[in-house]
């Protein structure tokens, strides 16, 4: 359990530094920003062997990217995709949703699954 939490902290910090964006947990109060990412651990799954030994720990991270400008949203998504393929611990699954608009922001969801 500790290993995946350390990974999550490192992963989010790297995203924040590389993309130069603020990243917030889903329930956070978000200051007015032009571009930012909201994350949520949307699923945690533990696979045990017959004798209750941990075989696999799987987490799914939901990222929602927000931007006031459509082209900037597309650029952030592209940068994020490139970053995902350059990190040591690559996601086993990536699902990228299309773009939409709400409350003056363009946004897009990305779902990442990591196995430990």
Per residue in 39-97, pLDDT (tens digit) is 999 888 877 778 877 777 889 999 999 999 999 999 999 999 999 988 888 899 999 99
* Residue scoring higher pLDDT (27 or 31): 27
Span 8-14, average pLDDT:
91
pLDDT at 112: 95
In contact, 59 and 39? CB cutoff 8 Å: no
pLDDT at 17: 93
73-91 core/surface letters (b: 16 or more CB in 10 A; e: else): beebbebbeeeeeeeeeeb
- Measure CA 105 to chain center: 18
Confidence of residue 2 (pLDDT cuts 50, 70, 90): low
Note the pTM of the prediction, 2 decimals: 0.84
| DSSP designation for 103 | T
Backbone conformation region of residue 100, classed left if phi is above 0, alpha if psi is from -120 to 50, else beta = beta
């Amino acid at each position: 359990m500790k290993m995946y939490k350390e990974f999550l902290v490192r992963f989010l910090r790297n995203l924040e530094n590389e993309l130069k964006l603020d990243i917030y947990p889903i329930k956070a109060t978000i200051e007015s920003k032009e571009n930012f990412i909201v994350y949520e651990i949307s699923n945690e799954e533990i696979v045990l062997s017959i004798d209750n030994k941990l075989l696999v720990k799987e987490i799914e991270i939901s990222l929602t990217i927000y931007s006031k400008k459509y082209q900037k949203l597309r650029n952030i998504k592209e940068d994020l995709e490139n970053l995902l393929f350059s990190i040591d611990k690559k996601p086993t699954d990536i699902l990228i949703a299309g773009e939409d608009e709400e409350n003056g922001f363009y946004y897009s969801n990305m779902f990442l699954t990591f196995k430990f």
